[in-house]
Structure 1
Amino acid sequence: MIRRALCFPSFIRKSLLIPPVISPYSNSSSKIGAYNGYASQTSSLEVPDSAPYRENDEYADVDWDNLGFGLMPTDYMYVNKCGAGQHFGHGQLNPYGNIHLSPSAAVLNYGQGLFEGTKAYRKENGQLLLFRPEQNAIRMKSGAQRMCMEAPSVDQFVNALKQTALANKRWVPPPGKGSLYLRPLLIGSGAVLGLAPAPEYTFLIYASPVRNYFKEGSAPLNLYVEENFDRASRRGTGSVKTISNYAPVLMAQLRAKKNGFSDVLYLDSATKKNLEEVSSCNIFIAKGRCISTPGTNGTILAGITRKSVIELARDHGYEVEERAVAVDELMEADEVFCTGTAVGVAPVGAITYQNTRMEYKTGSGTICQELYNTLLGIQTGVIEDKKGWIIEID
């Protein structure tokens, strides 16, 4: 395929809020405030014949029925750079490809980096939908403060997601066939030798069409409670979506998968008595009409799907508790499920703890299925968004 530089005429820049490309070190800033203005916002776009997402090129050549959760590079990625102590200016869309980094880049030497994850869905009328992207932006800004990094404003973050989704529109699966996973990254790209914050930061977004995260697809998960390895410790970075949190879980995760499990459920590092998280998602347990999930006390990531599911569950009349959840409560639970951007709302069929296997309700009529249907319905436009969570772009 011949790749073209992405050039938006002025009327497209205006409708997308894309300013002319200027130096990435230009000053611009905005404070986090009331970003509900994004909610249910529609960005209308008239597409000329020269745009890379022409109507006669509606879908990429993909076997949508057999789509998994693997990297499938799309056409364009968003890139923006910023010097230390400055503000991000205007980024631009470039053809997807490798990036140039110094071997002394802070992200390579000291792990100074953050990432986010969100999805774009396609409606039957071709519109693309984003789900609560301002929450990802706010979480990245909070994480950047903890990691001593510059971060894009909420406006910049959301607009960059819009641009990336539209430029890769032909890679957004048909309705019901999956979504376009969008991966924002913020990395210390500047060169350092001694341990110090980077002198330059790069904010970029790439995309890949995806479907089910786990190899089981929509089948119930089979988890293993890990007691030898910790995911996070008190006063660490467990509540931050930093890249350095994820590689340490690989050994336990690979070992569990080798033994036939879907993933690992971690316990708190201090007492080994309370549930924390699965490797890449939050955990919920249900008993009767009461749902419990570990509180975000500094070691647990405040997932956006988690937050949304809690609100939806309360709307459905369930009691939801955010608290310390003892591992022993797994013995009495009726249901267990996981939440996350990649996994959605995933049922857990079994958990093994100290050689004891516990099984849970799954399938039709469960709380998990009810919340999954509601959340996915809102995300895909099948259920009316009464909460202002959806941004419509086309």
Structure 2
Amino acid sequence: MEEQSIRVEERQDKKEKPKSEDLIFGRNFTDHMFVMDYTEGLGWHNPSIIPYQNLSISPASMIFHYGQSVFEGLKAFRTENGDVQLFRPEKNVQRLNQSNDRLVIPPIDENLALEAIKQLVAMDSDWVPSTEGTSLYIRPFIISTEPYLGVAPSHYYKFIIIMSPVGSYYKEGINPVKIAVENQYVRAVKGGTGEAKTGGNYASSLKAQELCEKEGYSQVLWLDGVEKKYIEEVGSMNVFFKINGEVVTPALNGSILPGITRDSVIQLLKHWDIPLVERRVSIKELYEAHQNGTLEEAFGSGTAAVISPIGELYWEGHHLVINEGKTGDISKKVYDTITGIQYGKMEDPFDWTVKVEKNSKVRQ
């Protein structure tokens, strides 16, 4: 594919930036956005950074009717010396194309997408907050835009990147959460879209989430959609359990999203020589491990929280309190290490971080 230059249109009336203490996840957006169009026969074209603005598309656009869309989520971090860096952005771009394949969306040029992220962050680098725990959330997404009421892949798409400064996920420190095991609804099944990052997966999870919150639980623990006994994810995060000294995480099976934080946790545990296995794990096995005292720790992993310790599981009338409801040693070590690397406070032996140059090439 011929290399394309990114056209830039700078916003003249810059928006007022919110104070760090007032940041709410996904509510404020930066001055600029990236857009690129796809037309069948022409391919992806006209990559541009433009002022953040509303979209004008037909109400018949296929995204509204058939849900053909994918998205990603990653962050930019302000280091102690004022630099801005990304965390494993190439993995997000790779996964975006994996989702594209499942949703029959034309693949994007991964180098161009990565360059678009870098240039957009460089242009709006003043929006990257510096208060501890804060960051700039980056949301790349693709939607089908062809005005056609027919069930078929669209011939037109938009690839867009928007960004939002976000506050610390743990304002009062990292604390374990209570989780309810979901027995009625399912998140995804093998052969479905569970391994793709597409909006429908999240829409279908809302009912179970609403019900569990009414009962005082933070999230649901999803079981497999066929036998409803094997653990898959927790909320919108991957999940890990420490059982009798060994860390266990559900193996990727076609219905579990391959999380980038999940992969980072796995690499860290192997680096530390902590026993780890990827395999099927049932809720009954967890219950029995709790009963015999070998369920030592549990935590979720994802972009927003990095690590979310699980202090209690509720399953069929049983309250399984884990590690006395406290944050476990592995949870804390993984959280401290990943965030330490992200903010440039710790050595990065894996080359996970990518520095964003303030004067990254921008073509006016």
TM-score (norm 2): 0.89
Instruction: Select 1:262's aligned residue among 205, 212, 218.
Output: 218
Tell me the amino acid that sits aligned with residue 44 of structure 2.
Answer: F
Q: Relative to structure 1, is the Cα distance of residues 319 and 85 closer, same or farther in structure 2, using a 3 angstrom cutoff? A: farther
Q: What percentage of aligned pairs have identical amino acids?
A: 37
Q: Relative to structure 1, is the Cα distance of residues 213 and 328 closer, same or farther in structure 2, using a 3 angstrom cutoff? A: farther
Output the CA distance in 2 between the equivalents of 1:104 and 1:329. 49
Matched, 1:120 2:106: no
Partner of 1:384: 347
Output the CA distance in 2 between the equivalents of 1:365 and 1:193. 52
Q: Deviations over 1:22-44 (max 9, x none)?
A: 9xxxxxxxxxxxxxxxxxxxxxx
Partner of 1:367: 330
Q: Deviations over 1:152-211 (max 9, x none)?
A: 211011111112212222221105131101000011112222111111111001111113
Give the superposition deviation at 1:52. Answer: 7.0
Q: Relative to structure 1, is the Cα distance of residues 308 and 107 closer, same or farther in structure 2, using a 3 angstrom cutoff? A: same
Matched, 1:337 2:323: no
Q: Relative to structure 1, is the Cα distance of residues 243 and 216 closer, same or farther in structure 2, using a 3 angstrom cutoff? A: farther
Output the CA distance in 2 between the equivalents of 1:283 and 1:212. 21
Partner of 2:119: 163
Give the superposition deviation at 1:311. Answer: 0.5
Partner of 1:173: 129
Q: Relative to structure 1, is the Cα distance of residues 88 and 51 closer, same or farther in structure 2, using a 3 angstrom cutoff? A: closer
Partner of 2:292: none
Tell me, what secondary structure is at the counterpart of 2:43? coil
Q: Relative to structure 1, is the Cα distance of residues 144 and 85 closer, same or farther in structure 2, using a 3 angstrom cutoff? A: farther
Q: 2:311 touches 2:326 (CA, 8 Å); kept in 1?
A: no
Q: Relative to structure 1, is the Cα distance of residues 238 and 364 closer, same or farther in structure 2, using a 3 angstrom cutoff? A: closer
Q: Relative to structure 1, is the Cα distance of residues 141 and 20 closer, same or farther in structure 2, using a 3 angstrom cutoff? A: closer
* Displaced runs of 4 or more, over 6 A: 50-53, 214-217
Output the CA distance in 1 between the equivalents of 2:320 and 2:36. 48
Q: How does 1:193-212 map to 2 (within 5 A)?
A: 193-212=149-168
Output the CA distance in 2 between the equivalents of 1:224 and 1:291. 21
Output the CA distance in 1 between the equivalents of 2:131 and 2:212. 34
Q: Which runs of 5+ in 1 are unaligned?
A: 1-16, 23-49
Matched, 1:108 2:94: no
Tell me the amino acid that sits aligned with residue 223 of structure 2.
Answer: L
Partner of 2:36: 80
Output the CA distance in 2 between the equivalents of 1:88 and 1:302. 26
Partner of 1:43: none
Output the CA distance in 1 between the equivalents of 2:215 and 2:258. 29
Matched, 1:297 2:253: yes
Tell me the amino acid that sits aligned with residue 81 of structure 2.
Answer: N
Tell me the amino acid that sits aligned with residue 95 of structure 1.
Answer: P
Q: 2:133 touches 2:168 (CA, 8 Å); kept in 1?
A: no
TM-score (norm 1): 0.83
Output the CA distance in 2 between the equivalents of 1:69 and 1:248. 21
Give the superposition deviation at 1:217. Answer: 6.5
Output the CA distance in 1 between the equivalents of 2:223 and 2:145. 34
Output the CA distance in 1 between the equivalents of 2:314 and 2:20. 34
Matched, 1:321 2:284: no
Output the CA distance in 2 between the equivalents of 1:214 and 1:364. 13
Output the CA distance in 2 between the equivalents of 1:196 and 1:51. 37
Q: 2:127 touches 2:165 (CA, 8 Å); kept in 1?
A: yes
Aligned length: 347
Q: Relative to structure 1, is the Cα distance of residues 279 and 79 closer, same or farther in structure 2, using a 3 angstrom cutoff? A: same
Tell me the amino acid that sits aligned with residue 121 of structure 2.
Answer: A
Q: Relative to structure 1, is the Cα distance of residues 257 and 143 closer, same or farther in structure 2, using a 3 angstrom cutoff? A: same
Give the superposition deviation at 1:89. Answer: 3.2
Q: Relative to structure 1, is the Cα distance of residues 376 and 148 closer, same or farther in structure 2, using a 3 angstrom cutoff? A: same
Tell me, what secondary structure is at the counterpart of 1:125? coil
Q: 1:68 touches 1:212 (CA, 8 Å); kept in 2?
A: no
